[in-house]
Structure 1
């Protein structure tokens, strides 16, 4: 049920897409992009982001987009210059605020929820998924009108509309043009969303989000940019409002209080449209930056095991050792490990089997340490991990014991597979080469004591007896 209504919290693409659809909804609501009129056809597009949210993200997202759609409609209907028939959508002008709120927002919320459920059912169809998605998209305009007119008939019967008024222009040129346009837009974007190209793009964006380097960047620059963007946009909107009033006064036009309010109301719409456009451009630039980051990361990744290679691992460790995560002495550990007698495994079972074992060892490292460390393959069967959060020796021993047991469970055609690990606590030393040499020394101490175990020491300390996990 949770996946039915909710976006994935850690998705690198779903939440940005949801925010993009909100921005597009506002942009359409406050510009001619949402309403196109060429005699004798009038096409309304403002409801299409709700369709896309339901089709791509689910009923919860489409219901939220419906609320945004309703709030924008309610704001536009609250200006004194709107037609008398549109004032029922405004809690301020209708005289019945609760009824107007239910009409403006409630009807669109219900529309978004129902349209999302219909898309959910269409995608679960065993046959003809595209046909059913196209059908829901084609009739989306009518479904939207059905809820709006239906609630209007219940709450404002004096307007003379009822639910079945939604079917009055279904075959009109405007109705057919809008329905076909909506259907084509949703089908094209749905196919693109599920294409191999975009699935690869989603995977890459998720990989960038999971990189620890990006996870530790400060949010302050982005916050400052957002505040500057909002301030500049408000300044531009206010400037044009003042200039318009000034020009009208120079030309001899004296504006009433109502006219001034109408101009202010329009400037708010202008401001929201500008901010939506800026937000869309910002998200586009963010995706470009993340894609570039992924390509740089890919060049530093080991193709076989999908962890960092030597050229990616050591520079990232140097960066992390300079961050606040290692400002306190005794925080974090540096680990080196290799597979015991791996050459014999390769010689007896072949390199393809050896590659499979390397991948599963790396997978075990990711399962245990990816949430708290940087993982790299240094070459051959040698791996390294830099653990950056503070961790107690007892907790580290638990994790290392768990990993050794994971390695023992890797199928190896009847042979026993094991690892040896050397671990050094990151103390006052911030030099990655020295940490590497010290951990490597502890690795060979673990091997000399019988392999299939780990040895934990301290940087600069005299090696002491380790704890064997046999």
Structure 2
């Protein structure tokens, strides 16, 4: 190794041990790196970054970022570019220093070329990191899609119970944040298919499955633009309406739904009992289900094929 160095730098008086001793600048850079890692760890576990990660994970519910989020992202990008520029200048100056150690005179032109090479290297690294980031985002979105599809009801293609109830909680919190904690009201519907067991027993499970699909499709067509639809049991569906809707509008849509599903089967009339709860944000999952179940029970007491609305 010493011979090879002597061939490369025959007149430099190269001393391997002395040339690679750490100087004051190297210790300072190492200390800055350690402090940067510690500071990054503290910031990563802060409440602000935790909230930021939750916003990213809940992007399917939140259609836009707040101004604070955009400003924070802009500051992070500027910080990264400043660090990149600093590292480019630092390594260019270190290269000049090493040439000086080996006895090579660095002219202004050579110094410019060294800096140019460092800029090219930085651009190549940024490009590679960008490609890697795109690949990671593609994989992340694919895994999120797989996770989301795993929470969907395979038969009816609406939300499964857990996904729907989580949506109910998150959409209330999101809407509450957007409106600066102002009070809003929504509707929670619990739909139970009347005499569904008889449909399965007399007409077969294939007809029963088709009935479930048709009812889910009707619910989506009518209510998806106002909120979300979920299948929360074997023959039970739920709907949350988190957009503004008057009682008159809701009753009109409920009558339309009951009319649409009545002709699903040619052999018999299909009907549903519907419990409706008018609530103020936010409400827990337990309270939504309990109060709406009470309304559903009253609808069944009235003879089924109807709806009952309870107001808090």
1:332 aligned to 2:186?
A: yes
The structural deviation recorded for 1:218 is 6.8
Q: Is the 8 Å Cα contact of residues 233 and 271 (structure 1) preserved in structure 2?
A: no
User: Which residue does 2:142 correspond to in 1?
Assistant: 291
Decide which of 202, 207, 217 is 1:353's aligned counterpart: 207
Cα-to-partner distance string for 1:137-190 (whole Å, 9 max, x where unaligned): xxxxxxxxxxxxxxxxxxxxxxxxxxxxxxxxxxxxxxxxxxxxxxxxxxxxxx
State the distance in 1 between where 2:86 and 2:267 align: 77
Corresponding residue for residue 364 of structure 1 = 218
Residue 280 of structure 2 aligns to a residue in which SS? coil
Partner of 1:390 in structure 2? 244
> Which structure is higher in RCO with an 8 Å CA cutoff and minimum separation 6?
2
TM-score under structure 1 normalisation?
Answer: 0.45
Choose from 163, 177, 185 the match for 1:312. 163
8 Å Cα contact 2:88/2:119 also seen in 1: no
Contact 1:233 1:275 in 2 (8 A): no
Name 2:151's counterpart in structure 1. Answer: 300
**TM-score normalised over the length of structure 2:** 0.64
Q: Which residue of 2 aligns with 1:426?
A: 279
Q: Secondary structure at the match of 1:215?
A: coil
Measure how far apart 1:287 and its partner are: 2.8
The one of 123, 128, 131 equivalent to 1:277 is 128
In 2, Cα distance between the equivalents of 1:401 and 1:325?
A: 30
Distance 1:235 1:265 in 2: 17
- In the TM superposition, what is the alpha-carbon distance from 1:222 to its structure 2 partner? 8.2
Aligned pairs for 1:437-452 (under 5 A) are 437-452=290-305
Unaligned ranges ≥5, structure 2: 1-56
- 8 Å CA contact 1:248, 1:254 repeated in 2: no
Deviation at 1:330, TM superposition (A): 4.0
Name the residue aligned to 2:83.
235
Task: State how far apart, in whole Å, the 2-side matches of 1:392 and 1:271 are.
Answer: 59
Between the two proteins, the alignment pairs up a number of residues equal to: 246
SS for the counterpart of 2:207 is helix
- The answer as to whether partners of 1:329 and 1:426 remain within 8 angstroms in 2 is no
d(CA) in 2 for partners of 1:280 and 1:442? 54
2:235 aligns to what?
381
Structure 1: runs of 5+ lacking an equivalent: 1-210, 460-470
Tell me how far apart the structure 2 counterparts of residues 269 and 391 of structure 1 sit (CA, whole Å).
58
1:336 Cα deviation from its structure 2 partner: 0.5
